[in-house]
Amino acid sequence: MLPIPEPLIDTSVDPNVRGFIHLPATPAKDGLVLTHGAGSNSRAPLLMGLAEVFAASGFTVLRCDLPYRQSRPHGPPRPGDAARDRDGLQNAVGVLRKIAPGRMFLGGHSYGGRQATMLCADQPDLVDGLLLLSYPLHPPRKPEQLRVQHLPKLHTPALFVHGTRDPFGTAEEVETALSLIPAKVRLLRVEGAGHDLGLKGASGGDDLTTKVLKEFHALFD
């Protein structure tokens, strides 16, 4: 039986790190930082479900709130928040390294995943791999506004998980974007799912999270 997730707050770094730590049943070396999308927080059902499944498989998982969410309990990030949010992700990785000294992975949903890719494009040695959930390839109904400028600089292997009905980009558009990335990448299509990957409530995501874990191991093990 897994330990109950514990709150984690580290004010020794700026931006602070705030979230919840999931410990595996036995001591683990590998760690995974998970963060949320715009307008959400570390309690998002998708993050909670993935954290439980990864912890059950032996990972130490940190679900963290981005700095903009720490500053404001509601609402999306503002245009000037992104750089500080990336600093917050870097700090979260540093905090988790003190607990999990092995391989380190960074994951995020939508906005959080995009910031993770931008951070790793600038710091290719920060983590061993990325888990990107519903990467926001472009704003809804604006396919011409692609968010791919940094992808040719991304040398970190990445698993993309994307719903086939996601308004932020079709699975085909994501596949095209992945061809820009010089690292090893893999795409898991979630049939019929939108931007939330079909996991809105607190339950019902066991099948999805199990598939994500399987694809993750296929890419990184």
DSSP 38-94: TT--TT-HHHHHHHHHHHHTT-EEEEEE-HHHHH-SSSPPPTT-HHHHHHHHHHHHH
Query: pLDDT-based confidence at 200, cuts 50/70/90?
Result: low
Q: Can you list the pairs that 6-12 forms with residues at least 24 positions away whose Cβ atoms lie under 8 Å? A: 8/62, 8/64, 8/95, 10/91, 10/95
Q: Is 16 exposed, middle or buried (0-12, 13-18, 19+ CB in 10 A)?
A: middle
pLDDT of residue 1: 76
Q: Is the backbone peptide bond immediately before 15 cis, with ω within 30 degrees of 0?
A: yes
Return the sign of the alpha-carbon dihedral for residues 81, 50, 129, 64. Answer: positive
Residue 60 clears pLDDT 60, i.e. is over it = yes
pTM for the model stands at 0.96
Q: What are the Cα distances from residue 200, in Å, to 35, 36, 46, 166, 172?
A: 16, 13, 8, 14, 24
pLDDT of residue 203: 44
Average pLDDT of the segment spanning 51-59: 96
- The full set of domains in the chain, from first to last, is 6-220 (3.40.50.1820)
